[in-house]
Amino acid sequence: MRPIRAPGRLAGVLSAAVYAVIAALFALPKVPAPFDTSFLPPLIAGWNALATVFLLLAYRAIRRRDVERHRNFIFAALAATALFLLSYVAYHLTTPSTPYGGEGLLKGVYYVLLFTHIVLAAVIVPLVLLALFRGLNREDRLHRRIVRLAFPLWLYVSVSGVLVYVLIAPYYGR
């Protein structure tokens, strides 16, 4: 495989593209969906859950020094994350946001989870891409340095995405 040239620049450009799509998603008016979108929120949570599983399997594989299996699980986690992003965009392009209807301590937990999930989701985009490109280039030292931060953040984002769904699911369709 040919090395990826300018991995930092490429990670930056791709990250900017993701940020632009998400910004446009919230800036554009909602477009009525030509079909029922109620199946998308559990699917979105499912993609996050699947990404979590693949990340943990990738971690186990690299701890066992099985680089090829690690790489395959990382690609699977990236695919699950990409499917999450596509489902998320499709849902939020067509459907207004659902307000959280809970009260008390759970409401505080929900908003802390949601806030940290959103902020860290933005942070991990360039980190994951940079780690990916450095890993594909077999720049192992740089890859490991980036992954020390990227892995726990990506894992937190994928788990917190599922938890956010579990907490808000009772309020969909109200």
52, 61, 93 from 89: Cα distances, Å: 20, 31, 6
- The 10s digit of each residue's pLDDT in 113-126 is 999 999 999 999 99
Rounded average pLDDT over 88-97: 88
Band (pLDDT 50/70/90 cuts) for residue 30 is confident
Return the DSSP state at 6: S
pLDDT at 3 over 80: no
Architecture of the CATH domain 38-171: Up-down Bundle (1.20)
CA distance linking residue 9 with residue 17, whole number of Å: 12
Residue-level pLDDT at 106? 94
pLDDT at 174 over 70: no
Q: Is the alpha carbon torsion for 149, 151, 152, 157 positive or negative? A: positive
What residues does each domain of the chain span? 38-171
Rounded average pLDDT over 14-23: 90
Percent of the chain scoring above 90 in pLDDT: 74
Residue-level pLDDT at 97? 85
- The 10s digit of each residue's pLDDT in 127-169 is 999 999 999 999 999 999 999 999 999 999 999 999 999 999 9
